[in-house]
């Protein structure tokens, strides 16, 4: 049981429990925004953020609770944001899809598919100009690789050798549409990146250590001017595209497809690698932290009516 395993387990389990608790609270209508849960996919954010430092930046999609928490974004700020409270990370105006914690390097997330990719490429240009060795990681789904800005951004980053790790969380679906109905070559994401001059690595078994190792190699190279890289991590979304429930009765997929992924669940896998006393202590700490964050959100005020016009430019 290494220190690294304990650290990765803590991060994985913390995110899993935050999202399970979010799903439990959801029917009460206290959460005022749609939620796109990453249950089953947590290992990508956990592995990549584990090799980043406080001065590195991340950006992501509407499915970014895991990224936010793994990078050190505020948990009370996240829960309060979902509740629409003034103490939320966007002061209650953004909801679950808009996480931000600039002090922790969480630069924001976007509900418009793919738009985080050019924005993060801009952060990488800024990082290169600052010349301080900091790097950017941007998380997006397989569907986002079908947006034109994905290709434009990778081309620009390769040309200018920007320090950015493109992280494709390939869960095989864009809402209900499988990759096979969207791409002539469903396995072509890495090839597309390579064609633009961005070295790419595909990890197809969801192993948190394998993703971490690929990220570590890529980030080490780019800190010294090595330029961008892409990781395609194949994962599986356990719950519905948006909302707290499962959707295996909707006709587009079945439990049989999910089963192998549930069998290699990284949270359970790493739990089994810890000695029981360590695991119980980690779990107890997580539950206490989540309980306090939910209490903070519940007791926080809603924004004042005048706040409606704050930060509005036109």
List contacts with ligand TPP (CB under 6 A). Answer: 63, 111-113, 141-144, 171, 173-175, 241
State the minimum distance, in angstroms, from the CB of residue 115 to ligand TPP. Answer: 7
CB-side neighbour CA atoms (13 Å) of 12:
25
The DSSP H or E segment spanning 167 is: strand 164-170
In 3D space, the residue among 61, 67, 15 whose CA is nearest the CA of residue 40 turns out to be 15
| Residue 116 binds Mg ion (CB under 5 A) | no
Among ligand TPP, Mg ion, none, the one that 111 touches (CB under a kind-dependent 5 to 8 A) is ligand TPP
State the minimum distance, in angstroms, from the CB of residue 141 to ligand TPP. Answer: 2
| Residue 232 binds Mg ion (CB under 5 A) | no
State the minimum distance, in angstroms, from the CB of residue 21 to Mg ion. Answer: 24
Instruction: Give yes or no for a contact between 225 and 161, defined as CB atoms under 8 angstroms apart.
Output: yes
Among Mg ion, ligand TPP, none, the one that 310 touches (CB under a kind-dependent 5 to 8 A) is none
Among ligand TPP, Mg ion, none, the one that 175 touches (CB under a kind-dependent 5 to 8 A) is ligand TPP
Instruction: Give yes or no for a contact between 294 and 25, defined as CB atoms under 8 angstroms apart.
Output: yes
**Nearest to Mg ion of 113, 214 (CB atom):** 113
CB-closest chain residue to ligand TPP: 141
Among Mg ion, ligand TPP, none, the one that 113 touches (CB under a kind-dependent 5 to 8 A) is ligand TPP
Token duo for residue 291: 């309980």
Token duo for residue 175: 């809402």
Q: What are the φ and ψ backbone dihedral angles of 85, each rounded to 5 degrees? A: -95, 155
Residue from 95, 141, 206, 244 binding Mg ion (CB under 5 A): 141
**Nearest to ligand TPP of 30, 182 (CB atom):** 182
Using alpha carbons only, what angle is made at residue 106 by residues 308 and 72, rounded to the nearest 5 degrees?
115
Cross-sheet strand order for the sheet of 106-110:
106-110, 57-61, 136-141, 164-170, 229-234, 200-203
| Residue 114 binds Mg ion (CB under 5 A) | no
**Strand pairing class (106-110; 57-61):** parallel
DSSP 103-115: GGTEEEEESSTTT
**Nearest to ligand TPP of 38, 286 (CB atom):** 38
**Nearest to ligand TPP of 33, 217 (CB atom):** 33
Residue from 56, 142, 232, 265 binding Mg ion (CB under 5 A): 142
Collapse the DSSP code of 92 into the 3-class scheme (helix H, G, I; strand E, B; otherwise coil) and give the result: coil
What dihedral do alpha carbons 10, 114, 108, 220 form, nearest 10°? 60
| Residue 64 binds Mg ion (CB under 5 A) | no
Q: Contact region for Mg ion (CB under 5 A) — 124-132, 163-171, 194-202, 304-312?
A: 163-171
| Residue 171 binds Mg ion (CB under 5 A) | yes
State the minimum distance, in angstroms, from the CB of residue 63 to Mg ion. Answer: 9
Among Mg ion, ligand TPP, none, the one that 1 touches (CB under a kind-dependent 5 to 8 A) is none
| Residue whose entry in the numeric block shows the structure tokens 């005020």 | 301
Any residues with CB less than 8 A from the CB of 2 and at least 6 apart, and which?
none
| Residue 145 binds Mg ion (CB under 5 A) | no
**Nearest to ligand TPP of 164, 286 (CB atom):** 164
Instruction: Give yes or no for a contact between 35 and 94, defined as CB atoms under 8 angstroms apart.
Output: no
**Site residues (CB under 5 A) for Mg ion?**
141-143, 171, 173
């Amino acid at each position: 049981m290494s220190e690294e395993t304990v650290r990765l387990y803590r991060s994985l389990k913390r995110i899993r429990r935050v999202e399970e608790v979010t799903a439990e609270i959801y029917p009460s209508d206290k959460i005022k925004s749609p939620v796109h849960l990453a249950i089953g996919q947590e290992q990508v954010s956990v592995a990549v953020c584990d090799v980043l430092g406080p001065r590195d930046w991340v950006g992501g999609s509407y499915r970014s609770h895991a990224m936010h928490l793994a990078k050190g974004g505020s948990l009370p700020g996240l829960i309060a944001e979902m509740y629409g409270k003034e103490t939320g990370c966007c002061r209650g105006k953004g909801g679950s899809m808009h996480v931000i914690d600039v002090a922790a390097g969480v630069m924001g997330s976007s509900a418009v598919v793919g738009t985080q990719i050019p924005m993060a490429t801009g952060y990488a240009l800024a990082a290169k100009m600052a010349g301080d060795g900091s790097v950017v990681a941007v998380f997006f789904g397989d569907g986002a690789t079908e947006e034109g800005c994905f290709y434009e951004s990778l081309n620009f980053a390769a040309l200018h050798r920007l320090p950015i790790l493109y992280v494709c969380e390939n869960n095989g679906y864009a809402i209900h549409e499988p990759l096979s109905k969207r791409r002539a070559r469903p396995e072509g994401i890495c090839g597309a990146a390579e064609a633009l001059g961005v070295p790419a690595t595909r990890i197809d078994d969801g192993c948190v250590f394998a993703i971490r190792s690929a990220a570590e190699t890529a980030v080490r190279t780019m800190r010294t001017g090595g330029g961008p890289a892409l990781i395609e991590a194949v994962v599986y979304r356990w719950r519905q595209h948006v909302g707290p429930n499962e959707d295996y009765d909707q006709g587009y997929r079945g439990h049989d497809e999910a089963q192998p992924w549930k069998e290699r669940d990284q949270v359970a896998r790493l739990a089994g690698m810890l000695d029981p006393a360590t695991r119980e202590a980690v779990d107890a700490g997580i539950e206490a932290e989540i309980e306090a964050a939910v209490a903070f959100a519940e007791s926080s005020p809603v924004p004042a009516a005048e706040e409606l016009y704050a930060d509005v430019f036109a």
